[in-house]
Structure 1
Amino acid sequence: MDEERLPQPDAADIELAKVLQALGDPVRLHLFRVYAAGGEYHCSAEGLGVDHLHKSTVSHHMRVMREAGLTSTRVAGRNRYVSLRRAELDVRFPGLVAALLAAEGAP
């Protein structure tokens, strides 16, 4: 099965203003915290704690996060898997991810 990554900014091109703007939405901040636990997450709303949202709304939030440089989306056939670009974010903005997670007592 062919795999690809959806377009995302290079790590050096990630802008702090876009990252903070993306995380200014409570749903995206929640998804950020879920993704920060590590691993890849299927793009369906199941298991992400956003089951109450329409699939297109969840897709929109995921696209905003990817375009801001927060996440990476891997396409495998008809499936999409999202992961936080934690290592790249830690290099680009040292301490930012940890500070955002600590702000709400997240892991």
Structure 2
Amino acid sequence: MTRTLDHPELADVTLQQVLEALVDPVRRRIVTQLSESGAGMSCGTFDATVSRSTLTHHFNVLREAGLIRQSYAGTTKLNTLRTEDLEARFPGLLRALLDATG
């Protein structure tokens, strides 16, 4: 049985959802790390100063806001940044946010 997670269609994601998700510094750091890695990262590989359960909450907020895609590779949950989808929906926004964070 394949485990899957629900991801919003980007057409249904609002600018407000994206900005509210990124107001938190932990979530901005997650997005920055994904952008810098250029590949999927498992949940346990992030440099984060919060508990595992809090980190799970942050991943859920980012997924529900359309910023990341999560998938399973065996028992490992991989996270990828939805760069192309976000660029199509909000041109230039992700790059501007990443530049401002750096």
Give the TM-score normalised by structure 2: 0.91
Query: Where does residue 23 of structure 2 map in the other structure?
Result: 24
- Indicate how the Cα distance of structure 1 residues 3 and 83 shifts in structure 2: closer, same or farther if over 3 A, else same: farther
Kindly indicate whether the alpha-carbon contact (under 8 Å) linking 1:66 and 1:73 is maintained by their aligned counterparts in 2: yes
Which contiguous aligned blocks of 4+ residues in structure 1 show a shift greater than 6 angstroms?
none
Aligned length: 101
Kindly indicate whether the alpha-carbon contact (under 8 Å) linking 1:42 and 1:79 is maintained by their aligned counterparts in 2: yes
The answer to whether residue 93 in structure 2 is matched with residue 96 in structure 1 is yes
Query: Where does residue 57 of structure 2 map in the other structure?
Result: 60
Equivalents in 1 of 2:101, 2:60: separation in Å?
24
Give the TM-score normalised by structure 1: 0.87
- Indicate how the Cα distance of structure 1 residues 87 and 3 shifts in structure 2: closer, same or farther if over 3 A, else same: farther
Structure 1 unmatched ranges of 5 or more: none
Equivalents in 1 of 2:3, 2:83: separation in Å?
19
Query: Where does residue 40 of structure 2 map in the other structure?
Result: 40
Structure of higher RCO (CA pairs closer than 8 Å, 6+ residues apart): 1
Pairing 1:72-83 to 2, within 5 Å after superposition = 72-83=69-80
Equivalents in 2 of 1:65, 1:71: separation in Å?
6
Equivalents in 2 of 1:89, 1:26: separation in Å?
20
Equivalents in 1 of 2:14, 2:24: separation in Å?
17
- Superposition deviation, residue 4 in structure 1: 4.7
> Which structure has the highest helix share of the two?
2
Structure 2 unmatched ranges of 5 or more: none
Identity in percent = 40
Query: Where does residue 13 of structure 1 map in the other structure?
Result: 12
